Amino acid sequence: MGQVNLGIIGGGTVGGGVFQALRRNGALMASRLGVELRVVRVAVRDVRKARAVKIPAALLTTDWQSVVNDPRVNLVVELMGGTTLARQVVLAALRLGKPVVTANKALLSAHGEELFAAAQKHGANLYYEASVAGGIPIIKVLREALIGNQITRLYGIVNGTCNYILTRMKLEGAGFAEVLADAQRLGYAETPPDLDVDGHDAAHKTGILASLAHGFWVNPRQIHTEGIRHITQLDIQFAGQLGYTIKLLGVVKKHDGQRPVQVAVYPALVPNSHVLASVNHVFNAVYVRGDVVGDTLYYGRGAGQDATASAVLSDLADAALDLKTGVKSRVAPFVPHERDGAVLPMDTAVSRYYLRLSVADRPGTLARIAAILGRAHIGISSVIQPEGHEVESVPLILMIHDAPNAAMRRALAQISKLAVIKGAPAMIRVESFE
């Protein structure tokens, strides 16, 4: 039996989880692969730090360069997080011709194009299954299983923190701030929680999926990104009355004959009849439509020590087999095959909308709002103005027909200036999955 020696960079939650998983199932993997995976070095920030997973002191070092440069190390596993030092680690390994496994979605989002080019130049491979949706093998699906399909639609619930918050807001009638505090206490959300609740984590993952699906590297600055801070209990309730559930979605759409691809992250009203509406708590799901296969769904735990470790083990197995057979890469990590690929400017994207306004309860209020929308050629499909609000302002809910984002944005700016409007309008897109 052959042996592949691993050098792990990072001994925290994920690094410790991978070490523990190898200790638990390493023999099983060896029997299946015909290759033994052996950890020979682990680089950490502080060798004296108490760790939930015990790593033998003899393996630990604070010098990541000594791990990457160690002639015994055949395969480098980058699990440190961040983008600056992690980029140096990955590039240094690739320049030595050593394959790299990473779980770092922020690194790939910011520097993926450079890293994949370096892998190709130096004849090494870069494996990154754990970078998106934890234990869901969505990278393999796009790179391998659906390679014969044009991907026309991809929708992802890829941030467990936001899904946990929105689920509890719906099921318990709780407010955003209350559930966020619980999420932080339980370790589902960081402090501060901006990366998750403002949509940036989901944008990193959505950009990677869009790049794989459409063959050009998506610049993260071109991904329209909205979070869930503005979602209120009122929105959850009215969405439910209308037959919808609110989810934070990563959206990748390519319309027939359209070269630019819409790549965005935003909260959306999802029909209760659609499978994504029932994905709850910290679970993730990715819904993919291919022109040959049709609609497919991939569901599971999207984060956490064990789910991420499972995805890393999958990459370790692939890398070990490639090293065993002497193949540089059975499947290229990323092939930039779409030279004319571009991201659709969000202002030109067309959608249906849910619009919540806080208005003065006076005659003619709805007429003024409808007049502004009418002049913008934006149609109203339905209106809800609940009774029983004996206060100065009342909620007014409008469901809007398909309209370009730019037209809707300009109309909302005009509506906001009306004297009858008593607060900032809340606009949420509606997905029909057509």
Residues acting as catalytic residues: 205
Question: Which regions of 223-261 does DSSP assign to beta strands (E)?
Answer: 224-225, 244-253
Alpha carbon separation from 12 to 55, 132, 340, 415 (Å, rounded): 11, 19, 41, 50
> In this structure, how many other beta carbons lie within 10 angstroms of the beta carbon of residue 243?
11
Rounded distance between C-alpha atoms, residue 189 and residue 162, angstroms: 9
Task: For 353-362, give one letter per residue: b (16+ CB within 10 A) or e.
Answer: bbbbbbbeee
The answer for residues whose C-beta is within 8 angstroms of residue 319's C-beta and 6 or more apart is: 4, 75, 99, 101, 125, 127
Tokens of 302: 């999207």
The CB-based long-range contact list for 168-171 (8 Å cut-off, 24+ gap) reads 168/281, 169/231, 169/233, 169/236, 170/236, 170/240, 170/245, 170/246, 171/280
Under 8 Å between Cβ of 193 and 180: yes
Start-end of H helices in 56-143: 64-69, 84-95, 105-121, 138-140
Under 8 Å between Cβ of 432 and 352: yes
Backbone phi and psi for residue 306, each to the nearest 5 degrees, phi listed first: -70, -45
Under 8 Å between Cβ of 195 and 220: no
Sign of CA dihedral 20, 24, 30, 36: positive
The DSSP bridge partners found for residue 399 are 354, 382
DSSP-derived secondary structure letter, 141: I
Tokens of 279: 């994905």
